[in-house]
Structure 1
């Protein structure tokens, strides 16, 4: 805690750095991602380039598995779209060069509807109107400098041609991968052309009204890409955290009709299990090679490493701050009983009154039935020593044998099969019966 008791932070917690399944880490990660994306988009547009903001969707029904929908869109069609002929050239010549393609940022968003099921879809920002040095030949040993040397505005004719080719390629690719997912010609692909910083700031209107945000002033292209978790989904659809928060509220005894979203405890648990198991290890956001370096944001390192850095940065603390150490068991009980804020307030109030915050926290814990001896004061030097030892232990224990990895993969595959079966039984069967009534 800061010397005045106004600022409270935590250090030394084990953090999962999951942008998919953790409401704590997700907020930190998406905030940093939105800042990075906004920096690149704004600088590119301000310098004279343009951004094409594209949303790709597929047809989906309640009997479709989330894993199949994601695999077709991300690993098959999107990957093929970047590597295929339509992207590299057209019958009219090298369209990619005429457009001045600098790179792309791709984000996968997942929602779920009560009637039509899982709805994963892609948001893509395509940076156009930039001239860069050509990439050196493979094996040459030369390092490519992705700096954009000059900017220009692509012609409307080339943009029209590009949009038509990408739309056709997306529909044909999805249909070839799985005819059940064939997108509609009208809604399968949507394009927004961004020419000015003001245009970029207005992109948040594109999908839906943002919960608690003035879209016209506060929402940006970067936020549209990275902060989709705070937007309200259309047509009664729920985002992942909507599932989790409603599930937690119902398990906590709140009335279903008074909560946003839909679904019983059994339905929500089945949805969450399938979602978490399917997305684990997947890539939520991807920058094309060199794009981060072109705008001084970072390197082409794996996004997971950048996410880990973002959440670890939350562990910074002031040298002269008051420190209270909580045992792992005590911290767990504080979380289970949802009194994290109460603990913070008790400690801060004590610091402001020049009283011992440890005594104040212990008194609070005793009132709610938590062992108060799991809390004690700690010096800055002791804190640093514990933090260093914890980091060293984590590194030493991080190895996983091939046998253990194989068993874990098998266990997760079995869990996913059960989750899908539960979802079909508890969610769509009940939803179908409700619709017929």
Structure 2
């Protein structure tokens, strides 16, 4: 168990190390946060390389018209078919010689008024200033060819600033996403992390059903797809999801404390199927420090227990508590 500081004015955050990871970027909040952090670093390397080479960067957003009754698996498969058709369209082939490469990110929201909303973000690296507007008609035609439909909003082209802002949000702390779980219940829907939080924290059965559908459909799919040769050209190494999910120091992270939990104590008192205390132990470690939290655990105190101390409480000299106690006047004596 490791405590880390992420900057002045912020309390230490505690996380576990040395645990087996599943490497699922779609279904596991823990692995997803670490994998996304690695992917964000890779994309930032790409943008830095493109700037150094004076290349043009654009971001395209591709989507389709969708409804509440649409099946997610079928909708996503049709969109992938449309994207294959798009890359074969005459307008795309005319612009392709000016494309150095591209990266496609797949995202989805669900639970809104119009059901599932899968969409692609495509970061395009170009060797010169290029008008990508002809690709709009090519995308709409490709949607129709795949049995879908789309209006003008189905295609959006933005500049390098938008691409940079989008990539900057990759790898954001999972708690930031989960803190917004009560938003997006209307037309736009909720992210998978928000659906999972709604199911667990709010007993939202619909959110749980939608999350289970999403996890099943996205299992085995790739989150980011780089065009052939672009990683090597930009000097970005190959790291698969399982490697990216392993413990690693993140940007701005400084280790402040570390404590080891004996294996049997972990199995018997923390990671227990019917009384899982992993989150409570992290809360306790952030309150008193990893060493003290583990010492309490070994002594038989479970996370969340009220611990009785042998010595009476004495405030720290010169502290606010000591000053407050000193300001309390004794009651006036009544009578003789």
TM-score by length of 2: 0.73
Give the one of 29, 32, 36 matched to 1:30. Answer: 36
Q: Gapped runs of 5+ residues in structure 2?
A: 6-11, 307-336
* 2:155 paired residue number: 189
**2:322 maps to what in 1?**
none
Aligned counterparts, 1:155-234, within 5 A: 159-160=130-131, 162-164=132-134, 166-178=135-147, 181-184=148-151, 186-194=152-160, 199=161, 203=162, 220-223=165-168, 230=177
1:50 pairs with 2:56: yes
Counterpart-to-counterpart distance in 2, 1:3 and 1:167:
49
Q: Counterpart of 1:249?
A: 201
**Aligned-pair RMSD on alpha carbons?**
3.5
SS across alignment from 1:187? helix
Corresponding residue number in structure 2 for 1:86: 91
1:250, distance to aligned residue in structure 2 (A): 1.4
Aligned to 1:102, the other structure's residue is in SS state strand
> Does the 8 Å contact 1:41/1:221 carry over to 2?
no
Equivalent residue number for residue 115 of structure 1: 113
Cα distance in 1 for partners of 2:270, 2:248 equals 17
Cα deviations by residue, 1:358-383 (Å, 9 ceiling, x for unpaired) = 345544317659xxxxxxxxxxxxxx
Does structure 1 conserve the Cα–Cα contact (< 8 Å) formed by 2:3 and 2:289?
Answer: no
Give the 3-state SS of the residue equivalent to 2:235 in structure 1: coil
Tell me the distance in 2 between the aligned counterparts of 1:55 and 1:349: 44
Rounded to whole Å, the distance in 2 between the matches of 1:366 and 1:120 is 41
TM-score (normalised: structure 1): 0.57
Match of 1:284 in 2: 223
Alpha-carbon contact 1:54-1:190 (below 8 Å) kept? yes
CA distance in structure 2 between the aligned counterparts of 1:279 and 1:79, rounded to whole angstroms: 19
Once the 2 structures are TM-superposed, how far is the Cα of residue 105 of structure 1 from its aligned partner? 0.7
1: CA distance, partners of 2:30 / 2:213? 20
- Structure scoring higher RCO (CA < 8 A, sep ≥ 6) equals 2
Q: Aligned in 2, Cα 1:3/1:42: closer, same or farther, shift over 3 Å? A: closer
Q: Residues 277 and 303 of structure 2 are in contact (CA less than 8 Å); yes or no, is this contact kept in structure 1? A: no
Q: Secondary structure at the match of 2:65?
A: coil
Question: Which of residues 18, 21, 30 in structure 2 aligns to 1:15?
Answer: 21
Matches within 5 A, 1:357-368: 357-365=294-302
Aligned residues: 285
**Distance change in 2, residues 1:364/1:40 (3 Å):** same
User: Which residue of structure 2 aligns with residue 103 of structure 1?
Assistant: 101
Asked whether the equivalents of residues 343 and 361 of structure 1 are also in contact (C-alpha less than 8 Å), the reply is no
Question: In the aligned structure 2, how far is the partner of 1:270 from the partner of 1:20?
Answer: 15
1:173 Cα shift? 1.4
The Cα shift of 1:292 comes to 1.3
> For residues 84 and 313 of structure 1, do their structure 2 counterparts lie closer, same or farther at Cα, with a shift above 3 Å needed?
farther
What stretches of structure 1 of length at least 5 have no aligned partner? 90-94, 130-152, 205-218, 252-264, 300-304, 370-437
1:344 aligns with 285
Aligned-residue offset at 1:340: 3.1
List aligned pairs for 1:138-149, cutoff 5 A: none
Deviations, residues 324-372 of structure 1 (Å, cap 9, x unaligned):
2243454423745731323424772645xxxx94345544317659xxx
Partners of 1:115 and 1:67 lie apart in 2 by 18
Query: In 2, distance between residues paired with 1:332 and 1:339?
Result: 11
CA contact (8 A) 1:113 1:119 kept: no
